[in-house]
Structure 1
Amino acid sequence: MITSPSSLRRSERSRKATLEAALELCTEKGYGRVTVEAIAARAGVSKKTIYRWWPSKSAVILEAFTEALVGTTPFADTGDIAADLRANLAGAAKLVSTPPFGPAYAGILSEMHHDDALAQTVRAKLVDPRFDEAVARLRRAQEQGQIPPDADLPLVVEMLYAPMYYRHVLRKPMQDEGEIAALVAHVLRAIGVPPEP
């Protein structure tokens, strides 16, 4: 069967409406009270349409969050690794601390502790690709001589991003720009990067 351009547009409109509806409902009701039925009603699509594209409510919400995170926190390469890390961390901290994305991600993190399939999906679709992108950005900085050649890049990523997840999971206030700058400076000093002038 050949799909027409108009049906593709309709499908994309329905997909975006579904993702937006899922995020809105997370903010209004809390993740636990969101249902596929409610998402379908808000988006103006059928449950059948949702289940054709996603296996569960959590899959819908995970896709919505992942698209937002990837779209707003690219791993830019301006030639200044400290500035690029600060910008990336600030963007991520802002996203996970504001509705609708914060409540959505909090719900996903909570549910994945009881759902092994969801935990694997979160790692495969969100955590691992973002982790690899962060390591790749650090590797480019290493190749440019901004980071020592013996630095353990995966460990550096954990040192930089773990505090944000710690605060998010425990519902502590997210780091502000000053705290993020201090964190980046501390981690870079710890791996032997000279302080910025």
Structure 2
Amino acid sequence: MSAANSPPRRARSGNRRDETARLAVLHAADDLLVEHGFGALTVEAIARRAGVAKQTIYRWWPSKVEVLLDTLVMDSEKSLPVPAEKITAEVVRGYFRGFARFVTRDPAGKVLLALIAEAQHDSGTAGNLREHYLDPRREREREMLARGTENGEIAPKLGPDATIDALSGPIVYCALTGSAVPRGLLDTLFEDLLRPRSG
């Protein structure tokens, strides 16, 4: 906080951000993406909606992709945290049900889908998405499955990465193509892939 009253110190730090402005930029990017789509989203529009200078955004983020990534990380930690406490079969099932809601109904889920789509023809976006979002989350998801397996709550037929892909892949496909996620799809996949212990 004191840095706000000390311009020289703020200038030296470079990465120190005014939290109010940072949040305004992230919320503006999220809202504009939902309203207009990835292609129409510009740094100028984000700056205008957030009430900050365009140069301020470029000082903090190299491009709109990095703004969206920060938005995605922040919002998904709130909307879709990976369970880390006592892992039961129902906790794992609930997480993947939450993921289905996230990509089909949550504005932050639309950010994820937009970045996945952009990553198909932009290797920089693909690398950033993996490094800053997909890989860290995948690590926590693997840990969730490992704990559930150790507890005897689930008995995966496949390795952790293949299991996560098999559960989330059809949901992402439905969301990317604008289709409804079929009722019972996740439960069927879950029962088949993880064989939760009954009782």
TM-score by length of 2: 0.83
In structure 1, stretches of 5+ residues that fail to align are: none
How far 1:102 sits from its partner (Å)?
3.9
1:121 aligns with 2:148: no
Q: Deviations over 1:71-98 (max 9, x none)?
A: 2222225645321122211222212212
Code of the aligned partner of 1:39: I
CA distance in 2, matches of 1:187, 1:47: 48
Equivalent residue, structure 2, for 1:166: 173
1:58 aligns with 2:65: yes
CA distance in 2, matches of 1:6, 1:164: 49
Alpha carbons of structure 1 residues 6 and 141: separation in structure 2 relative to 1, 3 Å: farther
CA contact (8 A) 1:168 1:174 kept: yes
1:3 aligns with 2:9: no
1:145 aligns with 2:152: yes
CA contact (8 A) 1:69 1:92 kept: no
Code of the aligned partner of 2:193: V
CA distance in 2, matches of 1:48, 1:138: 43
Q: Give the stretch that moved more between structures: 89-98 or 12-21.
A: 89-98
Paired residues, what number? 191
Code of the aligned partner of 2:168: Y
In structure 2, stretches of 5+ residues that fail to align are: 11-15
Secondary structure of 2:81's counterpart equals coil
Secondary structure of 2:105's counterpart equals coil
Task: Indicate the RMSD between aligned Cα atoms, in angstroms.
Answer: 2.7
CA contact (8 A) 1:78 1:84 kept: no
Equivalent residue, structure 2, for 1:71: 78
How far 1:124 sits from its partner (Å)?
0.7
1:82 aligns with 2:107: no
Alpha carbons of structure 1 residues 22 and 152: separation in structure 2 relative to 1, 3 Å: same
How far 1:180 sits from its partner (Å)?
2.6
CA distance in 2, matches of 1:75, 1:181: 19
Secondary structure of 2:3's counterpart equals coil
Secondary structure of 2:97's counterpart equals helix
Equivalent residue, structure 2, for 1:36: 43
Code of the aligned partner of 1:184: F
CA distance in 2, matches of 1:155, 1:6: 51
Q: Give the stretch that moved more between structures: 80-89 or 4-13.
A: 4-13
Q: Deviations over 1:129-184 (max 9, x none)?
A: 111111111111222233449852222222221122221222221355x4333321
CA contact (8 A) 1:30 1:103 kept: no
Code of the aligned partner of 1:90: R
Q: Deviations over 1:17-62 (max 9, x none)?
A: 0011011111211111010000000000111111111111111112
CA distance in 1, matches of 2:113, 2:86: 33
Equivalent residue, structure 1, for 2:119: 112
Alpha carbons of structure 1 residues 175 and 85: separation in structure 2 relative to 1, 3 Å: farther
Code of the aligned partner of 2:189: L
Which of residues 184, 187, 190 is equivalent to 1:181? 187
